[in-house]
Amino acid sequence: MIFAAGLGTRLKPLTDNMPKALAPVAGKPLLQHVIEKLKAAGFDEIIINVHHFAGQIIDFVEANHHFGIHIEFSDEREKLLDTGGGIKKASSFFNDDKPFLVHNVDILSNIYLRKLYAAHTQNHFPYQGTQAGQHPQLQSIQGNPIATLVCSERKSSRYLLFDGNNRLKGWINEKTGEVKSPFPGFDPRRYRKLAFAGIHILQPAIFQHMAGLPDRFSIIEFYLSICDKEELACYIPENLKLIDVGKTDSLKTATRFLGQLS
């Protein structure tokens, strides 16, 4: 699934006339970069949620003959459902009982998606050592994670907090001091701070926890609400290079970024 329904407010005035998904980077819309990355990794069935200038996104995909793969749309034009609600609305698309990947349209990276998918299905995760200069190693997560979140140690104001076994335990906003966790007496100082990269893999079993939730909700808030009941793992790619194309000045930076990856 590709999240492409956002209003793109940080990219104004560009998004006054087009959706963020069609913002151009190195001669291609963001959406095309993500579709081609998914296709190259072997994903041949994709659903894209749409809201802001939804017709432009649909027309673009159809004009490109769906990029030679099966692409559907989850129409949120009546109501923007946020990240969690968007996944829930598209649940019928994930009906083969296999793990599925969710990718933000504004994230460009060098991550190997096949390796990520294999790590999730095999419960085998790279993690970085605690000592400076220590090389990433592999760790097996005991139990089958219901979701695997790609994370990194990049600077942010909001962090997910993981324990020594790479399991999600909480969240912190370092600017406001706000902390969230379902665990009583939670002390954020005991946990590793990692920034979420906007790419994650989910088990279809996760939908049983969404039953009864409102149409609109955040996936991160949802993850925090179930991390005391289910295993949610982090995946930290080795030598990750990533850019969040969120503001107009980042479009030029993203073009240089892609040039460095090629």
Each residue's pLDDT, cut to its tens digit, for the chain (262 residues) gives 999 999 888 888 888 999 999 999 999 999 999 999 999 999 999 999 999 999 999 999 999 999 999 999 999 999 999 999 999 999 999 999 999 999 999 999 999 999 999 999 987 655 544 433 444 444 444 557 999 999 999 889 999 999 999 999 999 999 999 999 999 999 999 999 999 999 999 999 999 999 999 999 999 999 999 999 999 999 999 889 999 997 777 888 888 888 887 6
In the chain, where are the structural domains located? Answer: 1-95, 111-129+139-240
- Cα separation, 77 vs 60, in Å, equals 17
CATH of domain 1-95: 3.90.550.10
Of 91, 106, 118, which is closest to residue 37 (Cα–Cα)? Answer: 106
- Confirm whether 1-95 and 111-129+139-240 share one CATH topology: yes
Cα angle 230-34-197, degrees, rounded to a multiple of 5: 40
- Cα separation, 19 vs 2, in Å, equals 14
The CATH superfamily holding the domain 111-129+139-240 is Spore Coat Polysaccharide Biosynthesis Protein SpsA; Chain A (3.90.550.10)
| Global confidence as pTM | 0.91
Contact 236, 194 (CB under 8 A): yes
Q: How many CB atoms lie within 10 A of CB 249?
A: 9
- Cα separation, 124 vs 104, in Å, equals 23
CA 188 to chain centroid: 23
Residues 20-54 have pLDDT tens digits of 999 999 999 999 999 999 999 999 999 999 999 99
